[in-house]
Amino acid sequence: MRLPSPNTKIRRVFDALMSGGSYNLFEAQQILHDRCLHSTISSLQNDYGIKVSRKTEVVPGFFGASTSCRRYWIDSEEMQRIMLRRKQ
C-alpha cells in the first residue's frame, strides 16, 4: 500500500488520524496546520485509497454564531486494513 511521503502535510494528517484522532476544519488548522482539511481528506481517499469517516457537527463560529462543519476520522476496521496492507 502506497502511503503519503514523510514530512508532508498529507502525511501529518494521515498519521494524526491513524493515531486515533478526529478533527474538524478548525481543529486541523490549529493542531495540524492544515487550512484545507476537506481537500487533504479527498486526496487521502482518491489518491491513496484510504476510507475516511465523517459526520457533520455544529460548532461555535464567528462571534459565537453556530456554523456546521465536518469531523473526520479513520475507523478501527479501516486502520486494521491499512496496517495489514502495509505489512504485505
In this structure, which amino acid lies at residue 34?
A: D
* 31 found inside a domain: yes
Which helix or strand (DSSP H or E) is residue 67 part of? strand 66-73
Residues 6+ apart with CB under 8 A from 21: 73
10-24 pLDDT tens trace: 999 999 999 999 999
Domains: count for the chain: 1
Average pLDDT, the chain: 95
Question: What's the domain range around 18?
Answer: 9-87
Mean pLDDT of 35-55: 97
CATH code of the domain containing 44: 1.10.10
* 1 found inside a domain: no
Phi/psi at 19 (nearest 5 deg)?
Answer: -85, 5
Sheet holding 23-24, edge to edge: 23-24, 66-73, 53-60
Write down the pTM of the prediction. Answer: 0.92
* 50 found inside a domain: yes
